[in-house]
Chain A
Amino acid sequence: MDLTLTAEEQAFRDEVRAWLAENHPGEPPAGGEDAQFEFARQWQRTLHEAGWAGISWPREYGGRGATLIEQAIFQEEMARAKAPRPANVLGLVMGGPVVIAHGTEEQKERFLEPILSAEEIWCQGFSEPGSGSDLASLKTRAVKEDGGWRITGQKVWTTYAHHAKWCMLLARSDPDAPKHKGLTYFILDMEQDEVEVRPLRQITGEAEFNELFIDGAWVPDENVIGGEGNGWAVAITTLMNERAGLGATAALGLQATLDDLIELAKRRGRAGDPLVRDRIARLKIAVEGLRLGALRSLTATMRVGIPGPEGSIAKLQWSAANQAMTELALELGGLEALRTDDSWSYRFLRSRANSIEGGTSDVLRNIVAERVLGLPKLR
């Protein structure tokens, strides 16, 4: 056990830190969502030119091939520098890794570089109106034709669909097969008339996510990932990537929120209130519990290939802590914090999704119960 950085890790950290000091893009522009997205896209281009965009990707595919620890260091430095997120998050953490794991050489050639450069934005079309937690029940149909597939159906909650060139689309290619077996994973071109994107307004007032109406859209054979009928296995890779990245990075975000909360408590004259002190201490413990669990998980993964049980609770820890922090902020901040132009009101509202997006907390508890504790399934 040694939590200090090795000389090499320190050198890596110094390199990241120096680069960020030189290249930080500054504050995002005021103005609409489009302007902010363009800003994030430009920032990703800068990252990519210096080889940071695909930090976890293998070198042969344009990445940096960094170890898990280097990735954690990188994220920590990004957080410390308050650097913005790159634009193509879904492509970087899900789309790219899935193509790398399950794609053909041609697919890697075609799709990977534009993900890194943010030339082509990706979105994830899994959820449907009738299929959320029970994803494998999805109904969007894929019908085989000469040279490709015709897709018809509806997707929902599709984040960034309005910016996206490609959609990771899960559809039913064999209605007669058992529900997990009849699915295929497609890369759908969003730039066709048969795909209609309608923004969905969220409780925050913005529209990060959308509905997709797909009416006979075309996917050529070469855009099937992992082969016909293997959609579920490929989708699981996507979801694992979505959840794996969370722990260490999420803790850094939470620590920043906690710092703001401590400032708020002081500003509102509540720093001496024993109840406030106790609640903030609990939150500090929760943040550190997540951060340290993520580091344990990282070491276990590097050693034996899989994270230990501590990794399975990371998303539960994160969503609970983020929600509790923003709740306390509203209590401390009074009406000021509830103003529509105050960042706490936004953070409070946005964090309501944390226990839903990327797998609900109830479903995550099912997973812990079944996979970690080995309890019987309810069925």
Chain B
Amino acid sequence: MEFGFSDEQREIKATAREFLASRFPAEKVRELAESGNPYDDALWGEMCELGWPGIAIPERYGGQGLGVVELVILLEEMGYALAPSPFISNAYAGALIASAGSDEQRERWLPGIAAGTARGAAEFTNEGGPVVGAAKGSTVLALLTDGGPRIVPTADAELERIPVIDDTRAYFRVRAESGDPLPGDVAWARAAGAVALAAESVGLAARALDIATEYAKEREQFGRPIGAYQAVSHRLANMLWAVEEARSLTYYAAWCADADPEALPLAASMAKARASDAACSVTHDAIQTLGGIGFTWEHDIHFFLKRARVSAQLMGTAAEHRERVASLVGL
């Protein structure tokens, strides 16, 4: 038994950390968020060259044939960098089609999704219709509600951008009359998608904690660093607790998705509930630690808070996932 990353997985993590830090420095994230169109085609192209879009897609469809654990490694790092990217929506569409699609659907759509050249995008939630991340610019949509699990070429759908507080991602309400039904069961992919989003939330919470911790070491008031005061340092310790607990649950759920699918429903709901809550509370506490500067547009922390809050509403809220946990433990 080994609950840690293999050498190969650590390599993926290190490469991702380095690549994302150099391509998505804070100024770049801000520039993309403020531009109104958070996705940069050239940067997406670089991710495609690294093979990321196909990381968890079978090799026969042009993917790397790795698993949800590797996907989660990338997504935690993307959350850490708060990289605006269609990556997660594309990966989720890939998971839905790979696990619930017919052979024909797989052959038709997965190669483009794996290569990133014909992106997929998937439904994150339904509010007045399916809400899809990064729908614009995609080739195919994987929808789940208002007509059941189905595939719709993006060209056949009507897209309406929803202006939510998170500018680092683009969200669209989708109207699509018809579609090509996914014949298989989507439960596994939905759970894996929730785990992927949990990983992103863990990463962004970890970054918010780092930002707050660094500040607490440097900012002085009353003649000493604020991090020396227990009201501040104990809050930071609690933030670490939240991040680490969410991380353990998320890694476990990712492993279940790959190796123990029977345990996945419970594991995924525990991970998403904990990670959503952790990201919301940690980003809030980070702002508190920063004081007035944390409330300025100027400081980057608000982008983290906003992503955390929006993600908490996607792929099942914490309360919804806890309700599932209650059922699964026999209540």
Contact = CB atoms under 8 A, between A and B. Distances in A.
Contacts of A265: 331
Interface string A107-134: 0000000000000000000000000000
Contacts, number: 162
B166 interface: no
B2 A2 contact: yes
A284 B241 contact: no
Contacts of A317: 241, 245
Contacts of A20: none
B317 to A, nearest CB: 12
B273 A285 contact: yes
Contacts of B5: 1
Contact of B249 (A5, A274, A292, A309): A292
Contact of A376 (B69, B227, B259, B330): B227
Contact of A295 (B3, B227, B228): B3
A372 interface: yes
Nearest to A290: B245
A69 interface: yes
B255 A1 contact: yes
A377 B228 contact: yes
B323 A281 contact: yes
B107 to A, nearest CB: 31
B288 to A, nearest CB: 16
A95 interface: no
B299 interface: no
A298 B213 CA distance: 26
Given A289-B274, A310-B248, A369-B234, A280 B2 contact: no
Nearest to A313: B241
Interface string B215-242: 0110000001101111001101110110
A89 B58 CA distance: 51
A289 B237 contact: no
B325 A281 contact: yes
A377 B230 CA distance: 9
A378 interface: yes
B216 A375 contact: yes
Contacts of B249: 285, 288-289, 292
Contacts of B325: 281, 284-285
B97 interface: no
A365 B1 contact: no
A296 interface: yes
A376 to B, nearest CB: 4
Interface string A314-329: 0011000000000000
Given A366-B230, A373-B213, A373-B236, A284 B259 contact: no
Contact of B255 (A3, A312, A366, A378): A3
A293 interface: yes
Given A285-B322, A365-B238, A293 B227 contact: no
Interface in A280-308: 280-282, 284-286, 288-290, 292-293, 295-296, 298-300, 303
Given A310-B244, A375-B213, A375-B227, A362 B234 contact: yes
B309 to A, nearest CB: 20
Given A271-B331, A375-B216, A375-B227, A293 B69 contact: no
B270 interface: yes
Contacts of A365: 230, 233-234, 237-238
Nearest to A270: B331
B329 to A, nearest CB: 5
A272 B240 CA distance: 33
A3 B259 CA distance: 9
Among A6, A266, A290, A310, chain B packs the most CB atoms within 10 A around the CB of: A310
B319 A278 contact: yes
Given A1-B255, A285-B274, A317-B245, A280 B331 contact: yes
B1 A376 contact: no
Given A281-B325, A295-B1, A375 B330 contact: no
B4 A299 contact: yes
B9 interface: yes
B4 A369 contact: no
Contacts of B217: 374-376
Interface in B1-35: 1-6, 9
B213 A278 contact: no
Contacts of A4: 1, 259-260
B244 A313 contact: yes
Contacts of B248: 289, 292-293, 295-296, 310
A366 B238 CA distance: 11
A258 B329 CA distance: 10
A286 B278 CA distance: 12
Contacts of A310: 244, 247-248
Contacts of B245: 286, 289-290, 293, 313, 317
A317 B240 CA distance: 12
B251 interface: yes
B310 interface: no
B105 to A, nearest CB: 30
Contacts of B331: 262, 265-266, 271-272, 276-277, 280
A369 B237 contact: yes
B323 A278 contact: yes
A191 interface: no
A280 B326 contact: yes
A292 B259 contact: no
Contacts of A3: 1-3, 252, 255, 259-260
Interface of A: 1-6, 9, 69, 258, 262, 265-266, 271-272, 274, 276-278, 280-282, 284-286, 288-290, 292-293, 295-296, 298-300, 303, 309-310, 312-313, 316-317, 362, 365-366, 368-370, 372-379
Given A6-B1, A289-B274, A376-B217, 15 more contacts: A1-B6, A265-B331, A280-B326, A281-B329, A285-B322, A288-B249, A289-B246, A292-B3, A292-B248, A296-B251, A298-B3, A365-B234, A369-B227, A373-B237, A375-B213
20 contacts: A5-B1, A277-B326, A277-B331, A278-B319, A278-B326, A281-B273, A281-B325, A285-B322, A292-B3, A310-B247, A313-B245, A317-B241, A366-B237, A370-B233, A373-B233, A375-B213, A375-B217, A375-B225, A375-B236, A378-B233
**4 closest A-B pairs (Cβ-Cβ)?**
A281-B322, A369-B233, A277-B326, A289-B245
